[in-house]
């Protein structure tokens, strides 16, 4: 018998490897080993700084290996997101260069695909919502195209005849999270970064200033501390408007030479992301349930039914894996980047559903802040000071 599907994250290590002894000091200490922490650390190493990264478990285990790898500035655009879309487009612009550098530095292909995203509708109500979304995209200056059902199905012949409308977002791309995390890990180490898995760290404060981090193996001095722990970012001296938003996802095994889709397809219920190894990721639920990581029958049913409504070919595919993860979601669903009221302590968290999309712009912003003393461009609008003092830094 094949046995049950894997209910862990895709290819996640079960236990952290033996970590090296932490250094006594470093230029920058990063707390959190997801895509944000790793990419930020890698860019700081490229700038000539010494970096130590502390991960309480294994690299990518929080949200990064549970993600789909969407780089979808246009498809993700929602009402009230006008300021956020500028940040998303800037990061999307940076991605091709980052992808090339990362593949060269990490020595691994990250499956960066420029196939675009197709949003589809099957009912009158869904078409109305899709029309509204397309009008928003058009007013925001996003390059998207309205398609009728026939044109949508010509892009993706496997879709059901009930698909009656679509929006094509050619500028939206994707990567494979498993490959990105592996490449970042390798690039970080090759650049001389000190990677400490299985070692939790908290900011070390003296006289109201961050002077490093404390760990069970002792303190580590650092000129700058970057808190990039995703949904687990917690600092006793700060009250951050941050919460976990659970998502369940699953992977279907498709023959690599006969992919069921050629690009990402989104519906009202799910998104479908084909990867070059033949995997089709179906995600993701949106659940307010704290850190309850249970994979549930209702969640899996919602994913499969949402996918089957538009893509009948999934019915014969084996389920390869099922997992859950926690999006780090802020009070306004936008990232929290930059300085806190504690000197020497920076934040890089709160990326909600857009950790992979926003990783390059986040890494560039934190690197600029550390090396030049400030952030310019769209990222400058996403500091913690935008929240009330009671919520953000009280």
Round to whole Å and give the CA distance between 262 and 260.
7
Q: For residue 209, what are the β-bridge partners?
A: 206
Which DSSP category does 287 fall into?
B
Reduced to 3 states, what is the DSSP secondary structure of residue 142? coil
Task: Give 58-79 as a 3 state SS string.
Answer: CCCCCCHHHCCCEECCCCCCCC
Q: How many CA atoms lie within 13 A of 186 on its CB side?
A: 16
pLDDT digits (tens, 9 = 90+) for 226-277: 999 999 999 988 989 999 999 999 999 998 788 899 999 999 999 999 999 9
pLDDT, position 1: 30
Reduced to 3 states, what is the DSSP secondary structure of residue 154? helix
Are 289 and 296 contacting, i.e. CB atoms less than 8 angstroms apart?
no
Burial class for 1, CB neighbours closer than 10 Å (0-12, 13-18, 19+): exposed
Query: In sequence order, which residues have a C-beta less than 8 Å from that of residue 317 and are 6 or more positions away?
Result: 252, 253, 254, 260, 280
Are 35 and 360 contacting, i.e. CB atoms less than 8 angstroms apart?
no
pLDDT digits (tens, 9 = 90+) for 11-53: 444 556 666 789 999 999 999 999 999 999 999 999 999 999 9
Are 210 and 89 contacting, i.e. CB atoms less than 8 angstroms apart?
no
Whole-number Cα distances in Å, 185 to 30, 103, 110, 174, 305? 14, 12, 12, 19, 36
Which DSSP category does 21 fall into?
P
Residue ranges for the chain with pLDDT beneath 50: 1-4, 11-13, 389-394
DSSP string, 192-230: T-EEEET---EEEEETTEEEEEEETTEEEEEEEEEE--G
Are 355 and 34 contacting, i.e. CB atoms less than 8 angstroms apart?
yes
């Amino acid at each position: 018998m094949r046995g049950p599907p894997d209910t862990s994250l895709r290819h996640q290590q079960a236990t952290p490897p033996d970590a090296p002894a932490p250094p006594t000091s470093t230029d920058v200490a990063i707390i959190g080993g997801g895509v944000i922490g790793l990419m930020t650390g890698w860019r700081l190493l490229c700038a000539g700084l010494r970096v130590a990264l502390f991960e309480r478990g294994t690299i990518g285990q929080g949200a990064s290996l549970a993600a789909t790898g969407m780089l979808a500035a246009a498809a993700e655009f929602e009402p009230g997101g006008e300021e956020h879309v500028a940040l998303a487009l800037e990061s999307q612009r940076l991605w091709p260069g980052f992808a090339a550098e990362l593949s060269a530095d990490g020595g691994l292909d990250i499956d960066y695909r420029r196939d675009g995203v197709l949003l589809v509708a099957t009912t009158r109500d869904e078409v109305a919502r899709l029309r509204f979304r397309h009008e928003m995209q058009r007013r925001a200056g996003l390059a998207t195209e309205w398609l009728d059902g026939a044109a949508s199905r010509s892009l993706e012949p496997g879709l059901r005849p009930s698909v009656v409308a679509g929006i094509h977002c050619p500028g939206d791309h994707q990567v494979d999270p498993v490959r990105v995390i592996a490449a970042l890990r390798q690039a970080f180490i090759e650049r001389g970064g000190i990677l400490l898995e299985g070692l939790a760290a908290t900011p070390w404060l003296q006289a109201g200033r961050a002077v490093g981090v404390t760990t069970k193996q002792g303190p580590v001095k650092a000129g700058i501390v970057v808190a990039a722990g995703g949904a687990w970012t917690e600092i006793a001296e700060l009250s951050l408007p941050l919460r976990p938003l659970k998502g369940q996802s699953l992977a279907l095994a498709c023959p690599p030479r006969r992919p069921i889709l050629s690009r990402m397809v989104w519906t009202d219920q799910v998104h479908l992301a084909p990867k070059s190894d033949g995997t089709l990721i179906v995600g993701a639920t949106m659940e307010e349930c704290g850190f309850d990581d249970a994979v549930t029958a209702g969640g899996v049913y919602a994913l499969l039914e949402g996918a089957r409504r538009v893509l009948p070919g999934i019915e014969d595919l084996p389920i390869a894996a099922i997992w859950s993860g926690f999006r780090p979601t802020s009070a306004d669903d936008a990232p929290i980047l930059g300085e806190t009221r504690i000197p020497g302590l920076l934040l890089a968290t709160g990326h909600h559903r857009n950790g992979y999309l926003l990783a390059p712009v986040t890494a560039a912003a934190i690197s600029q802040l550390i090396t030049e003393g400030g952030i310019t461009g769209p990222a400058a609008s996403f500091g913690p000071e935008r929240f009330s003092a009671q919520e953000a830094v009280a």
